[in-house]
Structure 1
Amino acid sequence: MRFSLEILPIFIIDFAELWIIIIMFALGFYENTANFLQGIKRSWGIALFGAITPFIIGYNMANVFWGDANTSIFCGLVMMAIAVSLTMVSLKSEGLNNTLAATGIMTSAVLDDIASLALAAILVPIATGEASVSMDGILLVLGKAVAFFALVTAIGGWLFPASQGFTQKIPLLGKFNLREVLAMAKGDYTVLSLLLIAVLVGLLAHEFGFHPAVGAYMAGLIIHREYFDFHKDEDRDYYQQAREIIDNVAFSWIGPVIFVALGSKLLFDLDTFLSVLPEALMLFVGLFIGQVLSAALAARYTGNFDWPASWMIGFGMLGRVELAFVVMDIAYVQHHIMSVEAFYTLMLVAFMLNLSVPITISWHKLHFKLL
């Protein structure tokens, strides 16, 4: 028995894919750069152990189920791609998005997603037979990552405030300042300018081999509140207004479209669904326990979070949405590396893990506030 949705217009599909860029920009825009950098120092253990554990579980269980090395590798990659947006939406709905636990989750998830994208860039050519493992290839990927983040840092540190510091002496460039761009037309184009920056830095990330969402998040991080200190004679907070509009766009009216688009790509085969259900349940249980324990213990003993915050971080690292689907698309749709059974299993596991995020966060909120 099979059920499928009709193919959506290409415009709707492309429109839905913009959601990942916008929501990651919104999350980066909401985060304070100093807090993020400080969070890296505190969250390295969460990112490390919270990624290694699900990769090992996904790889080994997939190897037992299907016995194919390439499929196992990509199952591990899918399971280490943490869903930043889903967790932050859940935390925001519970009023916990400004807590230290939220910063720990965000920082760790971004680091894990960058690692999974870098590994995908290395492993896809190997799995498809287009290349072999080489130190040159690994160093190239690492070099591109360093170059990208150095370039984004330069944009935030010297290009956006170019009319200040030593850059003001550079011809033409010295007259540029992001504040002047955002202030155009009395601030009417502020949101449009911000979204344009998100897309441009996302495209820059794509050119360096990363998902545009990573670039969009970094774009949000390097935009500071002081850029919105214009038209002070008006009783209007342009920063708060821009943030509310972007949040509304990202979380309210574009967000649901992507799930419709993803659903339209699925062919629901009841026989296949029932055949992979035992594997999906075993993989879900293993990942749930392994992910929560590894992230929570790392938060407690390497990040010095208290136990309530540590368990919140463990629950917040369960989701698998944006980059997990990107990796599945690479492996199943583009290169046909994994079987339909493996694809169905990963989709079911991702669905159950995503459902667990708001449920566990809502449940733990009571203990989080009491302890």
Structure 2
Amino acid sequence: MESLEHLTIIWLGVLVAAFAARKTRLTPVLYYLAAGAVMVNLGFLPAEPDPFIRGFSEIGIILIMFALGFEENTSHFLTSVKRTWGIAFFGGLAPFLTAYAVADMFWGDAKVSLMVGLAMTATAVSLTMVSLKSEGLSRSKAATGIMTSAVLDDIASLALVAILVPIATGGASADIASIGLILGKVVLFFVIVVILAAWILPGDSAMLQRYVPFLRRFGFRRLLAFAEGEMAVLVLFLFAMAVGIVAHLEGFHPAVGAYMAGLIIKEEYFDSDSDEDVAKREAAYESTKRIVENVAFTWIGPVFFVELGTKILFDVDLFVSVIPQVLTMTGALFVAQIVSASLAARYTGGFSSAESLMIGFGMLGRAELCFVVLDIAYVQNNILTETAFYTLMLTAFMLNVAVPVTIRLWKPYFVRAVGAQENAGGNTGNTMAKSADTV
């Protein structure tokens, strides 16, 4: 009964946090963490959660990562890769190296520095897109660049989590053979994902029909259409858990598998053999997507962040002691992220200067994957010290606050520059048309 009482208190905190996030236009993750911290320090929640809450929170982060992958348009993502690979690479490498260097300067522990760098690498794309949407910029070219590069950044970060966490936790040594084994597991896992995406899930490949014909008859489309689509959400969550288990067997965090499971699900899988009505397919897809997002982001997923927030036990002396680390880490990452992402957007992606700076601001946030790494490194394996954990939590908070603030401050210049660029393009087009008429 005590577990149910704790869950009820957590859900109440989630509701209050969601209300505060809507009023301030900041990511709800910040308020979920704050809710956990406040409630544990007031004695409403225990510092050490019982197994039920702990297990529930693990399910939450798996569903969140699946939902983030599921809401991505795979085709749109693939077509934008060529233009945004540089933003993802340089915009991820610079924060990793910067965070690693700052951590090494303060704590001098390679494993701690590795986890700090890893936590500060991935961008919080959901926070940025919410901020851009609130400013009416979610359909801009800059938004597309941020979305695609952030997804690439997250995938690269997931691969790094898979490779580096076993080394940092002592599960594997840093010799060539051990690293080779880990890389082999990474390759094997992604090969499995590619096979699922290319041949198993589509259900209409020649290889599938020839060698595994029963999958065509009882394949993924049929499962999603079973009972008129009423079981679609269960099928998707079952698939996410199954791929997450495969990832775990390969030595990765289950969230890695869940994200990849969501990424390879396509809207056309909601077609059935007997129903080719596009409108019905889109309605089924949107309805399922809405339920998945509701479950992941509203009532199960947030438990993970609230539970993680309960690790923040207020200690005035500790908070004061980490001020130099927090200011240094935040300042260094703020500059490194904006400069690296903006320059990459300008010179490898061909974006304008105004768009490039907007992309740099949009990639400041740190959310889901950052806290997954913190959970692995601090809660599960005790790699991070208490000082390092508090430093990263406060740094993530300040960077996330910077996203809506910088986007709002830059918006007038951005709109003016993009408008001038479009007008120039229109004038050029008119001049060319007039020349053509003259000829």
The alpha-carbon distance between structure 1 residues 67 and 43, as it changes in their structure 2 partners (threshold 3 A), is same
Matches within 5 A, 1:17-96: 17-94=58-135, 96=137
Residue of structure 1 aligned with 2:318, choices 269, 272, 294: 272
2:199 paired with 1:158: yes
Aligned counterparts of 1:10 and 1:134: Cα–Cα separation in 2 = 36
2:324 paired with 1:282: no
Equivalent AA in structure 2 for residue 33 of structure 1: T
1:144 — aligned with what? Answer: 185
Shift of 1:54: 1.3
236-245 or 208-217, larger mean C-alpha shift: 208-217
1:134 — aligned with what? Answer: 175
Residue of structure 2 aligned with 1:222, choices 232, 240, 264: 264
The alpha-carbon distance between structure 1 residues 186 and 128, as it changes in their structure 2 partners (threshold 3 A), is closer
Equivalent AA in structure 2 for residue 41 of structure 1: K
176-185 or 118-127, larger mean C-alpha shift: 118-127
Partner SS for 1:209: coil
Equivalent AA in structure 2 for residue 246 of structure 1: V
2:232 — aligned with what? Answer: 190
Equivalent AA in structure 2 for residue 352 of structure 1: M
2:177 paired with 1:177: no
Partner SS for 2:314: strand
Aligned counterparts of 2:140 and 2:190: Cα–Cα separation in 1 = 26
Give unpaired runs (5+ residues) of structure 2.
Answer: 1-39, 419-439
Shift of 1:124: 4.5
Q: Is contact 2:143–2:359 with CA below 8 Å preserved after alignment?
A: yes
Residue of structure 2 aligned with 1:108, choices 126, 143, 149: 149
Q: Is contact 1:45–1:302 with CA below 8 Å preserved after alignment?
A: yes
Equivalent AA in structure 2 for residue 57 of structure 1: T
Shift of 1:281: 1.1
The alpha-carbon distance between structure 1 residues 235 and 158, as it changes in their structure 2 partners (threshold 3 A), is closer
Residue of structure 2 aligned with 1:199, choices 236, 241, 244: 241
The alpha-carbon distance between structure 1 residues 105 and 143, as it changes in their structure 2 partners (threshold 3 A), is farther
1:210 — aligned with what? Answer: 252
203-212 or 229-238, larger mean C-alpha shift: 229-238
After superposition, the CA RMSD in angstroms is 2.9
The alpha-carbon distance between structure 1 residues 316 and 144, as it changes in their structure 2 partners (threshold 3 A), is farther
Aligned counterparts of 2:135 and 2:191: Cα–Cα separation in 1 = 35
Q: Is contact 2:95–2:117 with CA below 8 Å preserved after alignment?
A: yes
Aligned counterparts of 1:48 and 1:320: Cα–Cα separation in 2 = 16
Aligned counterparts of 2:300 and 2:133: Cα–Cα separation in 1 = 17
Aligned counterparts of 1:360 and 1:46: Cα–Cα separation in 2 = 19
Aligned counterparts of 1:234 and 1:105: Cα–Cα separation in 2 = 30
Shift of 1:228: 1.9
Q: Is contact 2:161–2:252 with CA below 8 Å preserved after alignment?
A: no
Q: Is contact 1:40–1:107 with CA below 8 Å preserved after alignment?
A: yes
Q: Is contact 1:295–1:313 with CA below 8 Å preserved after alignment?
A: yes
Aligned counterparts of 1:23 and 1:69: Cα–Cα separation in 2 = 30
TM-score, L = length of structure 1: 0.87
Shift of 1:302: 1.0
1:321 — aligned with what? Answer: 367
Give unpaired runs (5+ residues) of structure 1.
Answer: none
Partner SS for 2:358: helix
Equivalent AA in structure 1 for residue 182 of structure 2: V
11-20 or 48-57, larger mean C-alpha shift: 11-20
261-270 or 196-205, larger mean C-alpha shift: 196-205
Aligned counterparts of 1:36 and 1:363: Cα–Cα separation in 2 = 28
Q: Is contact 2:124–2:368 with CA below 8 Å preserved after alignment?
A: yes
Aligned counterparts of 2:59 and 2:68: Cα–Cα separation in 1 = 14
Equivalent AA in structure 1 for residue 238 of structure 2: L
The alpha-carbon distance between structure 1 residues 172 and 273, as it changes in their structure 2 partners (threshold 3 A), is same
Aligned counterparts of 1:110 and 1:28: Cα–Cα separation in 2 = 9
2:429 — aligned with what? Answer: none
Identity of matched residues, %: 57
The number of residues matched between the two structures is 370
Q: Is contact 2:203–2:221 with CA below 8 Å preserved after alignment?
A: no
Aligned counterparts of 2:370 and 2:108: Cα–Cα separation in 1 = 21
Equivalent AA in structure 1 for residue 223 of structure 2: V
Shift of 1:349: 0.7
Shift of 1:238: 0.9
Matches within 5 A, 1:287-326: 287-326=333-372
Partner SS for 1:267: coil
The alpha-carbon distance between structure 1 residues 91 and 250, as it changes in their structure 2 partners (threshold 3 A), is farther
TM-score, L = length of structure 2: 0.75
Q: CA-to-partner distance for each residue in 1:269-312, whole Å, 9 max, x for gaps?
A: 11100111122112101111111111111112112223333223
Q: Is contact 2:137–2:143 with CA below 8 Å preserved after alignment?
A: yes
Aligned counterparts of 1:307 and 1:50: Cα–Cα separation in 2 = 16
Shift of 1:265: 2.1
Aligned counterparts of 1:219 and 1:96: Cα–Cα separation in 2 = 29
264-273 or 315-324, larger mean C-alpha shift: 315-324
Aligned counterparts of 2:166 and 2:118: Cα–Cα separation in 1 = 14
176-185 or 71-80, larger mean C-alpha shift: 71-80
Shift of 1:123: 4.2
